[in-house]
Chains A and B, each alone.
Chain A
Amino acid sequence: MNIGFLSVILHAHLPYVRHPEHDEFFEENWLFEAITECYIPLCNVLERLNEDTIAYRLTLSLSPTLITMLRDELLQIRYQKHLNKQIELAEKEIIRTRNQPQFQKLARLYRRFFLSTRNTYNKYHGDLLTAFKKHHQCGRLELITTAATHGFLPLLNISETAVRNQIEVAVETFKTNMGFSPSGFWLPECGYYPDLEVTLANAGIKYFFTDTHGILDANEKPNNGVHAPLDCGNGVMAFARDPELSRQVWSAEQGYPGNENYREYYSDIGFNPDIDLNYLAPYILDGKNRINTGIKYHRITGEGLEKEWYDAKKAQFKIEQDANDFVQKCQHQIDSLSANMDRIPLIVAPYDAELFGHWWFEGPCWLEAILRRVDEHKNIETISCGDYLKRQTSHQIARPSSSTWGEDGYSSYWINEENDWIYPFLHKAADQMEQLVIDFKGVTVSAIQKRALNQAVRSILLAQASDWPFIMKSGTTVEYARKRITDHLARFNYLHESIRNNTIDARYLSALEFIDKIFPDIDFRNYKPIEL
């Protein structure tokens, strides 16, 4: 058996969804569900590994929007309320299912799960970033970031300033919240285009990730395929996703999460027609619209079969099997790669963090299991890409190709008949913002002008999020995505006009600052062409 490195990267991102103008807002549940099902279970995994002195290395990419939301007081209070309701529902479920022992057992499991979640949340005083920082300081967790609002950079690229602003604001936000600069950068949707590495280098970034074909289609044939990074020519390194191990988790057909013994995401009691709407009313949307409650009693079972109740023991057994399989496949790859490589092979396995726990309920436990197995397995070493670069200092120089990890490997998911209308508006706003900053160069601005200019940059950033065109294409909450993008553009237009005409309304400006309360340290003067 040969020696090899495994780098697991979890990319945690949610769009900025915070609506202080409403007492409750359905889309805020995206964050609440992710906290309960993904981020807190992940904290617990890291805690257990730490207690057992497991020598693991893991990379976590935290988007600036997620960082902001996790630190937001309003959302913290609302999350606690949401979690308390889940505990209440689980308790009611224990009573409702008293004649169905299998389901009652699961209701008890959910009650324990939610209570444990609350304990962890309270332990960190509602600030999960503290937990991640703690594991970073222990030297086990590498923390990196992504673009400020997850803007899809290949389609913002007609304005270099827009791209640079996404990257620089991200790095600053990360630094302010985490206390250090990130060395790695997760390109939103792995969207890379040639020359992006220049902007990344200027922001102090040392490495980023592309999809497999980003490296395989580089302008020079990669000597080690996707199992060693490429130096883009300016010292910034590009790591590529390993297709085989990625497929093991991502693929709904061949991947682990689709196994019949794992929990079925779509079988939520919120949608169970046998459960009275009045009973569910306090836990669903406006008391009448059925939504996910987080309590699901069934396993995937199999296509076309009636769903069977979830058996946690069987799922646990399957987790162990899948973790073994993953490590074996990893070793097999390393063995076959080693013969043809001039260095130790590196397998890069990046995943969306929310897959673990939210969509794949058992995902965090599976992750824990592979990290424990790799620790026992002396031929495979988990490594972060930052550490890899410290140990391996010579690299092939080549320029990756344009690529994303989207549907066809390029940009078509983010520009198509459903969402292409947004780009003229986004580009126009970016141009107008740049012109404003040029016009205000060297001019002393009043406090209110400065606030308005900063808020205009925030509005542009929020409009640029890749989530909105993504949702429009996927056809999920399309109206919300359309509204968000048009609202942010309207707010930008309003601010732009009032700055130009010197008619800034302090009340309106304060309201916008209150609603879009993100990036408090932003400085509009940085939104300028690089030559200035």
Chain B
Amino acid sequence: MFRQITKICNYIWFLDTLIIKLVMELQHSSGKNFQTQLSRKELLEIKDEINKLYAPFVVDNKPEQNHDFKFSAQDLIEISQNISLYYSPKILTNANKLVILPIDPHHLYAYWELVDNKSHSISQSMFNNELTLRVYSRIEGNRDLNQSSPLAEIVIDKFHSRQKIRIPVSKKPTTYSASIGKTISKNAFVSLLDSNDTYILHGFTDCREENKSQARSVGSNNIDNNPQAIVFEDQFVYGSKSSVESHYPYTNYSAKGKKK
């Protein structure tokens, strides 16, 4: 750092000298007497201004250590508490947003944020329970979005902005997406908000007993058998216990105690 500062100082000194020399050169070459137009003070001002605007600077990649502040433990606690008090996370966005996340081969998770948007009357529709969340799937290789199959449809509850959604099983690599919109009639759906895509590639190994049984239970709703099937399932109960083999539940040594 010291070497860099020295370099910069040398450079500034060099620049100063150069500017003064240039002005002197101009005086000689033009034959005009600049002495009457530019005082020494003015020369210095010009020099200072050029230095201020055009002096090179080195961007240091290391975070600069600020030695001016000494913190007591109490100072740190107060600063931390102040920030937590006034800046705790809140969902207040100015944009409509719909996100879907993969949970497992049987479930997606969706959350959404809807703000007042008069052109779409989203908030009014929301209030009237007119909005629907529709989930689509698209088998790998089929790039045509219009060919996406509606897979599940849920009436959005105005008091909730997140939902776990059970989906039929697909044995093929599948891309899922979702939309929030209004169902106008049986075959007409007006989309007001679209989600991200989420891609799931999964299969059915023998070690996943639950998956096997669920795969059987959905039977005719299997998207591979019936791509047009729509599952109207909107209230999946959280917390159902699984008896499948896994990394964590078989041990007392990690999941239950690792973080104590």
Contacts and interface: CB of A to CB of B under 8 A. Distances in A.
A87 to B, nearest CB: 22
A451 B71 CA distance: 18
Contacts of A401: 201-203
Interface residues of A, number: 94
B119 interface: no
Given A428-B93, A476-B259, A411 B99 contact: no
B69 A506 contact: yes
B185 interface: no
A217 B75 contact: no
How many residues of B sit at the interface, in one of the four size bands? 35 or more
A30 B260 contact: yes
Interface stretch (B5-13, B128-136, B219-227, B249-257): B249-257
Given A219-B201, A265-B257, A474-B256, A447 B64 contact: yes
Interface string A412-437: 11011100110111011100000000
A156 B250 CA distance: 27
B224 to A, nearest CB: 15
Contacts of A22: 73, 77
B254 A217 contact: no
Interface in B212-260: 238-239, 242, 244-260
Interface in B184-207: 196, 198-205, 207
A154 interface: yes
A408 B109 CA distance: 16
Contacts of A415: 101, 103, 109
Interface stretch (B37-45, B83-91, B145-153): B83-91
A195 interface: yes
Nearest to A363: B253
Nearest to A489: B89
A162 to B, nearest CB: 13
Nearest to A519: B63
A126 to B, nearest CB: 22
Interface in A460-479: 467, 470-471, 474, 476-477
Interface stretch (A253-261, A324-332, A368-376): A253-261
Given A194-B201, A352-B258, A427-B99, A486 B89 contact: yes
A237 to B, nearest CB: 17
19 contacts: A22-B73, A22-B77, A157-B198, A194-B199, A252-B253, A257-B253, A265-B257, A352-B254, A355-B251, A355-B254, A359-B257, A402-B201, A410-B202, A411-B101, A420-B109, A424-B111, A470-B259, A474-B255, A487-B83
Interface of B: 60-64, 66, 68-69, 71, 73, 75-77, 79-80, 83-84, 86-89, 91, 93, 99, 101-105, 107, 109, 111, 113, 162, 173, 196, 198-205, 207-208, 210-211, 238-239, 242, 244-260
Interface of A: 15, 20-23, 30, 154-155, 157-158, 190, 193-195, 211-213, 216-219, 243, 246-247, 250-253, 255, 257-258, 265, 292, 352, 354-355, 359-360, 399-403, 405-413, 415-417, 420-421, 423-425, 427-429, 447, 450-451, 454, 467, 470-471, 474, 476-477, 486-487, 489-491, 493-494, 497, 506-515, 520-521, 523
